[in-house]
A and B are shown apart, each in its own frame.
Chain A
């Protein structure tokens, strides 16, 4: 199987920058995803990395280092609506299926 680790909770201030880390151990790695999930709602796709480096999309960026089994999601200019759970997921041995970390609950405070 795969082991995906990310912090359980984080708190940050509105307008600040926050970095959510994710480490993974997997064989047959074929991509790293980040999802956002607001309470009581379904996860929604944020980003996908398959090659090393930084992918930027507006206020959100995601970084991957395959040699280190490491990714992070960077959220800039935090807004209150960014309070949510952020899920790291990796594809690997299960063919087309993703394995998810337990999620990082981010609280943005005024």
Chain B
């Protein structure tokens, strides 16, 4: 069964900490994405990558960075966590064509910044 795995289901961090959210997929997908999901706001795109070492800003990249050193792994980095980054973070991957099957999502990481 194909999978997108996010390293943590729940995470609590302190304001100002550097936070790493890891995502690994085993489907040899070219594209990987990071979204955050908040009540009333839906899913908002933070960053995405269509190849190793490539990255593109989404709609809300401020306060975040990403790393993709290997095809299967896409990391989201909160350089200095703030309380307004408390959210559910969803990683997804897709084939480069992105047709027919859309995204496969990970189970999500619920991050709380205190």
Contact = CB atoms under 8 A, between A and B. Distances in A.
A35 B37 CA distance: 14
Contacts of B48: 94-97
B103 A98 contact: yes
B107 to A, nearest CB: 5
A94 B104 CA distance: 18
B90 interface: yes
B64 interface: no
Given A48-B100, A48-B102, A50-B99, A97 B58 contact: yes
A48 B105 CA distance: 16
Contacts of B43: 43, 87, 89, 100
Contacts of A99: 45, 59
Nearest to B43: A100
A102 B41 contact: yes
Contacts of A87: 42-43
Identify the 9 closest CB pairs spanning chains A and B, nearest first: A102-B42, A42-B105, A100-B43, A45-B102, A96-B31, A97-B48, A33-B102, A96-B98, A100-B42
Interface of B: 31, 33, 35, 40-45, 48, 50, 56, 58-59, 90, 94, 96, 98-108
